[in-house]
Amino acid sequence: MKLLPGFLKHCTSTVTIREVACYDQVNTSETYAKLPNLQYMYLSNNQISGCIPENIGEVVPNLSILDLSNNSISGFIPNSIGNMKVLEALDLSRNKLMGPIPTSMGNLKNLRTLVLRGNTLSEQIPSSLKNCTKLEVLDLGDNQLAGNLPSWIGQSLTSLRVLSLRSNKLIGAIPKTMSSLYSLQVFDAAENCLSGTIPDIFTNFTAMKVTEKMADYNYDRKHNFYYRVSIDIVAKGSMMDYTEFLSLVTCIDLSRNNFSGRIPESLTKLIGLRVLNLSGNDMIGKIPQEINQLQELESMDLSNNLFSGGIPLSMSSMNYLGTLNLSYNNLSGPIPFAGHMSTFDDASTYYGNENLCGPPLPTKCDSPISNNVGDLRTGSPEVRQFWISAGLGFGIGFGGWYSVLAIKRKWNNAILKVMDFIAEILITRLQHLFPRRNR
């Protein structure tokens, strides 16, 4: 099937040909008449081959949506595509396109969605894209793009909701200017050659701090604009295609790079984050005790790094967590196999940590109590903070009850009986959980 067959001259607004197994080779030498009234062109999921006509920008200058995804289109992206000044969504993903991204794309000032995933595009990401300030979705994954991750992305594209640069050849550090992406819900830079420490840039990632959902499609009532976005995200150990439920996704994937250093403190504040993948790097330090603030986290992969210390007890309260991988680090001590953590009963979750012990690993802990609870004087800062907080809480609570008893003397007997009953239960439970240690 020709990309611009003759019957299109009769179309006044929209042409949609999807999943009908149309195939043929595009004739780039054919002269096409202008189609100034055509606004929407959906030709995805066919078997169209050949090249995009070099004068496509003159033939369909008033397109709002151009979707040629999932075909076998080859060659270069023509420069004339920059003449489509009203274009709002361009999807050329999963084709056989090669060469650089044309700098003329910087002329597409109304562009909100640009998806070029799954081609063999090369060279650097053109700086002219910084002029596309309305961009909400920028997906350049699975190509051969090189150079640094551009600093102008954070400076100019502040409306981005999805930024996917996965599986390219990008180098260098994550620019600190990325901290301005307050609308970002998906940040996927996995499988590149990025290095350095992950900067503490997440403070202003507002969209990942709240549980409000973004729309699962781009819709503009004024221009009658409608376009569904399909994004590939690695979650729960496998690649998943999010279209219908894109509104539910908040994801940070920086796996399989060369990052070093510690987990940034601001990352633990992203309470709306659902997918976190930092695996396959050279990161060090402890897993932050505050990781349990990520209460909506469903998938976390920290495997194949150099993390050390114990697994935080606080992780037992992460009730939404469905997939966890802490394998092949330098973690030590007892596994906090309690609360929600007891659902991760597959030993492979913890493989490659020689100094971890306790279920579900076969290695038994020599002194589980001292490792898990610790002594107030010699335990970890987290343990000391726990017992200090518990003591303060008990003191304040007891003081409040004592004040009530002093004022309402008629309540004394009833309340004291209840407190005595509660104390007896607590003592019994504590004796069961923490039997006397042999000295």
pLDDT at 158 over 90: yes
**SS3 letters for the chain?**
CCCCCHHHHHCCCEEECCCCCCEEECCCCCCCCCCCCCCEEECCCCEEEEECCCCHHHHCCCCCEEECCCCEEEECCCHHHHHCCCCCEEECCCCEEEECCCHHHHHCCCCCEEECCCCEEEEECCHHHHHCCCCCEEECCCCEEEEECCCHHHHHCCCCCEEECCCCEEEECCCHHHHHCCCCCEEECCCCEEEEECCCCHHHCHHHCCCCCCCCEEEECCCCEEEECCEEEEECCEEEEECCCHHHCCEEECCCCEEEECCCHHHHHCCCCCEEECCCCEECCECCHHHHHCCCCCEEECCCCCCEECCCHHHHHCCCCCEEECCCCEEEEECCCCHHHHHCCCHHHCCCCCEEECCCCCCCCCCHHHHHCCCCCCCCHHHHHHHHHHHHHHHHHHHHHHHHHHHCHHHHHHHHHHHHHHHHHHHHHHHHHCCCCCC
Quick one: average pLDDT of 118-143? 97
Q: pTM for the complete prediction?
A: 0.78
The verdict on residue 394 lying in a domain is yes
pLDDT band at 400, cuts 50/70/90? low
pLDDT, tens only, 268-299: 999 999 999 999 999 999 999 999 999 999 99
406: domain range?
A: 381-433
What's residue 303's pLDDT? 97
Integer Cα distance of 124 and 176 in angstroms: 19
Tens of pLDDT along 242-267?
A: 665 566 789 999 999 999 999 999 99
Q: Tens digits of per-residue pLDDT, 3-36?
A: 555 545 545 455 555 444 444 444 444 445 678 8
Residue 416 in domain? yes
Is residue 213 pLDDT above 50, yes or no? no
Is 406 domain-assigned?
yes
Label residue 373 by pLDDT band (50, 70, 90): very low
Tell me the three-class secondary structure of 160-173, residue by residue.
CCEEECCCCEEEEC
Q: pLDDT exceeding 90 applies to what percent of the chain?
A: 65
pLDDT of 181 > 50? The answer is: yes
- 187-200: average pLDDT: 97
> Which stretch of 32-36, 162-166, 345-349 has the lowest confidence by average pLDDT?
32-36
Q: How far apart are CA 301 and CA 328, in angstroms?
A: 11
pLDDT at 34: 79
Q: Is residue 414 part of a domain?
A: yes
List, for residues 92-101, the tens digit of each pLDDT value: 999 999 999 9
Q: How far is CA 72 from CA 23, 118, 376, in A?
A: 9, 11, 66
Whether residue 104 is predicted with pLDDT greater than 60 in this model: the reply is yes
Of 33-42, 55-64, 285-294, the range with the lowest mean pLDDT is 33-42
Instruction: Note whether residue 117 is domain-resident.
Output: no
pLDDT at 378 over 70: no
Looking at the domain assignment, is residue 399 inside a domain? yes
Whether pLDDT at 224 is above 80: no
Asked if residue 403 belongs to a domain, the reply is yes
Q: What percent of the chain has pLDDT over 70?
A: 70
Q: Looking at the predicted structure, is the pLDDT value of residue 139 above 90?
A: yes
Q: Is the pLDDT of residue 67 over 50?
A: yes
- Is residue 23, in this structure, part of any structural domain at all? no
Q: How confident is the model at residue 310 (pLDDT cuts 50, 70, 90)?
A: very high
Q: Please state the φ and ψ torsions of residue 384, each to the nearest 5 degrees.
A: -60, -40
Average pLDDT over residues 38-56: 92
Mean pLDDT of 367-384: 43
Rounded mean pLDDT of the chain? 80
Total domains in the fold of the chain: 1
pLDDT band at residue 344, thresholds of 50, 70 and 90?
Answer: very high
pLDDT on residue 217: 47
